[in-house]
Amino acid sequence: MAGFGRLAEEDLVEGMNIGYLKNFGLWGIFNHYRDTGRKSIIFKVWMIGSIVGFGPLVLTSLVGPFFTAKDLEGLTLVILNPMTVIQMVVKLTVLWFGLESQTRLMDLMKKNYLKCIPRDKMPKAQEILQNTVKESNSLINMVVYTNLSTVAFWNVLPILKSEYVRLTLGITVFGIPKNHNNKILGFWYPVDHNETPWTEILYVYEFFICMWAGFIITLMEALIAQLVILLSAHLKVIQYLMSELIHTNQFRLDTPQLLVYIKEHQRLMRIGDEMRQHYNFLITMTLSTGLIILIISIFNFFLGTDVGDIFITLKFILFAMYSLVEVCVYCFAGVKLETESELIGFAAYSCDWYRMDPNFRRTLQMMVLRSGSAVSLQAGKLYPVNLTTLTNYLQVAYSTSMILLSVQTMAGYGRLKDGDILDGLSIWYLKASGLWEIFNHHRETGGRSKVLKFWMAGMIIGYSPVYFVSVVGPFFAERDLEGISLVVLNPMSTVQSVVKFGILWFHMEKQSRLLDLMKKNFLACVPPDKEAEVSRILGDAVKEANIYTFFGTRINIITVLLWSILPVLRSEYFRITLGITIFGTPLRHNKILGFSYPFDYDATPGNEIVFVYEFLVVFTAGILITILECLVAQLVVLLTAYLKVFQYLMEELKSTHDPKFDKDQLLLYVKEHQKLMRVGDEVCDLYNFLITVQLSTGLFILIIAIFNFFLSSGNGDVVVMIKFVVYTLYTLVEVCVYCYAGSNLETTSEDVCFAAYSCEWYEMNPDFRKTLQMMMVRSRSPVVLKAGKLYPLNLIALTNILQMAYSTSMLMFQQTHK
């Protein structure tokens, strides 16, 4: 390597921009290595300075997330700048350990790099190289100016927003730092960086860190783009030479000339493979960290627009541009290299091969076959860096940043206060169970409260034995249909409670957002003269929702109490000691539930332990089932009510003979209708699995409860008959509530079309009518609650469930009386 000699400026392609390499000392580092084969002192100082300067940032980057603000914005800012540091470290590392390969690639800058150019083709070849050099110079300038603008703005903004500029100089146009500290970078430090002298010390430190990282990133980014484009230029020259290869009437001259071109093509292919291998890790890390930078920049850009901080918005626009320009440069250079190397085959086809001898053609075929496998830059040795990659990259960045923004927005919804709720709406069951505070905690912070986490831990610990006995119980239960049915019965309710709690835990964000349906001002399009009628419609809906809540809670409470108390009333203490025998003698095991346990649970102390355990299981399952049942019913009824309000508003839409005002009013209604449709789709999506499990397990419970009711009537056990009548009513009420509420929702959302038809559309202009038609077409696809995303939840479904439950229970009853 040391014998290659220095690269002189007169050896380079005319017009090539190497000023950025000379000004920053990298040109001298390369030439020193080409002369001596050793790294220069300047380069060693670079490396030592980088290790010393960036050493503290490694520690703060690792521990920073544990001490930063516990919101999504703070976490993204702590993650953002370490990504840039990683890019700088990777590029400097590749430069240090791959310096020999890098200096060898510098030969691509030579104007006489290709040795096969005939004298008469030299002017055209130089023209191709010079045109490509102009293109590479434009890319380099874009890279340098974008990165310098980003670094300069990030370094200067903390000064412009500092207390000295704001208070002492009285310049307040740059605003006050919001949410997070007024620093250049987002790193966490174990000192108070708002106090003197730490503010000044950290500013100077971050200033040099930011400047040095930008300097290394800019140098390597521009150099890689320049070398890749130069390689594509030399391939383009080979294309030109191949296309100009004509028949000379001297076969002995044609084939040797082709072999000269092939040898140069082989050399370019080797250089291309070396370039791909040399820059593979660098490009992989740059694209992956750049994707994170782009996501966080877009996310913070939208946050900046929300708080009205123009300069923070501009700061992240520049940072997004910095990351985007780098990715675009790599992808553009990569696709150019890939295209030019592939076009060699087409250029070879354009020569006079059909006039050449067979030896020429066979030789040419080898070249054409090789050009079919194009040289390309790759990330991770698998993912080609081209314009398709760029498109996918931007899609992922935008969609992910929007997801982050929605999560951040969710955390800022704020508490739901009693004054915000619809007048008269019953939410006592939410407050009494603590779920109201759990929802409000999530609306404020975006996280789960300690109470909910305690619930989860208790569910896991408390229900673990139930899972075990539910699996093994049928193998140890009585071998008759009644015994098996009792063992199967109660796990169905357990499944219901577990599924409902799972929905609550994993979909807390959606559930908290749906609580906005309880707000009295959920619809923002109600004119003042329509508020009285709207209040009446919502008041009727509140009464209906409260009826669901009343019956749902009472039936479930009665069921839990009756099932829990009955074993006590039928115990030996009541029957023998107290002499109360009105409640009868248990024909089987005197337990609350039908689970089978691996010990004698009819004797002391097993009987008492099982009773206490099953009481707690029944109590918690009853609470969860009741709360979620009432909440789902309330939200569906309220959504139906808002759709009824919307119907009323559409029916009352009169012409004002002002086309613009009428169109604006309709558009306001359309936006509200879109919001209601989105909420409806979210309700259906959120509760789909819950309703599916609810109906399937509810069907099992109905069948077994009706079956055991008839068995008890045959045995004359009135108390057990009442027990299963109540259990049947409990399940039946739940299924009826879902089916009735779902039927109302479906009908009401479909009736929006008829309400739109009832307005004075014939008095409106054509633009109004076309807009109205769009709404009518959308309303023809109503919001439908479904089980399994296939089975609509309505009164027909209720009829089918009841028919199946009764016929199956009668079939089972007949089997026991053969």
The two counts, helices (H) then strands (E), for the chain are: 25, 4
The mean of the pLDDT values for the chain is 81
What is the separation, in whole angstroms, between the first and last Cα of the chain? 98
Residue 176 has pLDDT above 70, yes or no: no
- Spell out the SS3 assignment of 603-629: CCCHHHHHHHHHHHHHHHHHHHHHHHH
Q: What is the pLDDT of residues 240-281, one digit of tens each?
A: 888 887 766 554 556 788 888 888 888 899 998 899 899 999
Q: Is residue 531 classed exposed, middle or buried when 0-12, 13-18 and 19+ CB atoms within 10 A define those classes?
A: exposed
Is 4 within the bounds of a domain? Answer: no
Q: Please give the pLDDT value at position 227.
A: 92
Under the banding of pLDDT at 50, 70 and 90, the label for residue 97 is very high
Higher per-residue pLDDT: 300 or 585: 300
Is 3 within the bounds of a domain? Answer: no
How many residues does the structure list for the chain?
Answer: 818
Under the banding of pLDDT at 50, 70 and 90, the label for residue 4 is low
- Cβ pair 330, 337 in contact under 8 A: no
HSE-CB for 277 with a 13 A CA cutoff: 9
Q: Angle at the Cα of 630 (from 629 to 633), degrees rounded to 5?
A: 85
Global pTM reads 0.56
Is 314 within the bounds of a domain? Answer: yes
Residue 381 has pLDDT above 90, yes or no: no
Q: Please give the pLDDT value at position 473.
A: 59
Q: Which domain holds residue 43?
A: 9-110+118-411
Tokens read off for 303: 């946050």
3-class SS of residue 61: helix
Q: Is residue 668 classed exposed, middle or buried when 0-12, 13-18 and 19+ CB atoms within 10 A define those classes?
A: middle
Is 2 within the bounds of a domain? Answer: no
Under the banding of pLDDT at 50, 70 and 90, the label for residue 476 is low
Of 392, 411, 430, the last residue of a domain is 411
- The pLDDT > 90 percentage for the chain reads 6
Q: What integer is the mean pLDDT of 345-373?
A: 82
Is 726 within the bounds of a domain? Answer: yes
The phi and psi torsions of 211 (rounded to 5 degrees) equal -65, -45
Query: 91 and 222: one domain?
Result: yes
Number of domains in the chain: 2
User: How far apart, in Å, are the Cα atoms of 80 and each of 296, 297, 327, 401, 691?
Assistant: 7, 8, 17, 13, 42
Of 387, 411, 435, the last residue of a domain is 411
Task: Collect contacts of 320-325 with beta carbons under 8 A, ≥24 apart.
Answer: 320/293, 320/294, 321/146, 321/150, 322/146, 322/147, 322/150, 323/290, 323/293, 323/294, 323/297, 324/294, 325/142, 325/143, 325/146, 325/147
Query: 440 and 577: one domain?
Result: yes
Query: 491 and 520: one domain?
Result: yes
Torsion region of 657: left, alpha or beta (phi above 0 gives left; psi -120 to 50 gives alpha): left
Tokens read off for 1: 């390597």
Q: How many CB atoms lie within 10 A of CB 248?
A: 13
Q: What is the pLDDT of residues 439-475, one digit of tens each?
A: 888 887 777 888 888 888 888 887 777 767 666 655 5
Is 320 within the bounds of a domain? Answer: yes
Strand partners, 792: 786
Is 133 within the bounds of a domain? Answer: yes
Strand partners, 786: 792
Query: 449 and 371: one domain?
Result: no
3-class SS of residue 431: helix
Q: Please give the pLDDT value at position 180.
A: 44
Q: What is the pLDDT of residues 782-796, one digit of tens each?
A: 888 888 777 888 888
Of 411, 436, 453, the last residue of a domain is 411
Q: What is the pLDDT of residues 690-745, one digit of tens each?
A: 888 888 888 888 888 888 788 777 666 666 777 778 778 878 888 888 888 889 88
Q: Is residue 579 classed exposed, middle or buried when 0-12, 13-18 and 19+ CB atoms within 10 A define those classes?
A: exposed
3-class SS of residue 115: coil
Q: Please give the pLDDT value at position 68.
A: 61
Under the banding of pLDDT at 50, 70 and 90, the label for residue 154 is confident
- Cβ pair 240, 125 in contact under 8 A: yes
Query: 15 and 141: one domain?
Result: yes
Q: Please state, in angstroms and rounded to a whole number, the distance separating the CA atoms of residues 303 and 299.
A: 6
Residue 565 has pLDDT above 50, yes or no: yes
Under the banding of pLDDT at 50, 70 and 90, the label for residue 574 is low
User: How far apart, in Å, are the Cα atoms of 243 and each of 246, 344, 363?
Assistant: 8, 9, 15
Is 48 within the bounds of a domain? Answer: yes
Q: Please give the pLDDT value at position 179.
A: 46
- The pLDDT > 70 percentage for the chain reads 84
Q: What integer is the mean pLDDT of 566-575?
A: 70
Residue 38 has pLDDT above 80, yes or no: yes
Q: What is the pLDDT of residues 609-635, one digit of tens each?
A: 777 887 887 788 888 888 888 888 899
Q: Please give the pLDDT value at position 41.
A: 93
Q: What is the Cα gyration radius of the chain?
A: 38
Query: 424 and 403: one domain?
Result: no
**Among 295, 366, 364, CA closest to 327:** 295
Query: 405 and 446: one domain?
Result: no
Q: What is the pLDDT of residues 735-760, one digit of tens each?
A: 888 888 889 888 888 888 888 888 88
Residue 205 has pLDDT above 90, yes or no: no
Query: 387 and 445: one domain?
Result: no
Higher per-residue pLDDT: 491 or 50: 50
- Cβ pair 220, 91 in contact under 8 A: yes
Q: Which amino acid is at 73?
A: E
Percent of residues in the chain assigned helix, strand, coil, to nearest 5: 75, 0, 20
Residue 191 has pLDDT above 70, yes or no: yes
Q: What integer is the mean pLDDT of 522-526?
A: 82
Q: 49-63, 126-140, 397-411 — which is least confidently predicted?
A: 397-411
Query: 357 and 490: one domain?
Result: no
Query: 485 and 406: one domain?
Result: no
- Cβ pair 641, 493 in contact under 8 A: no
> Which H helix or E strand runs over 791?
strand 791-792
Torsion on CA atoms 668, 669, 672, 674, rounded to nearest 10: -100
Q: Please give the pLDDT value at position 567.
A: 74
Query: 329 and 380: one domain?
Result: yes
User: How far apart, in Å, are the Cα atoms of 274 and each of 106, 115, 278, 374?
Assistant: 12, 20, 6, 14
Query: 400 and 445: one domain?
Result: no
- Cβ pair 785, 682 in contact under 8 A: no
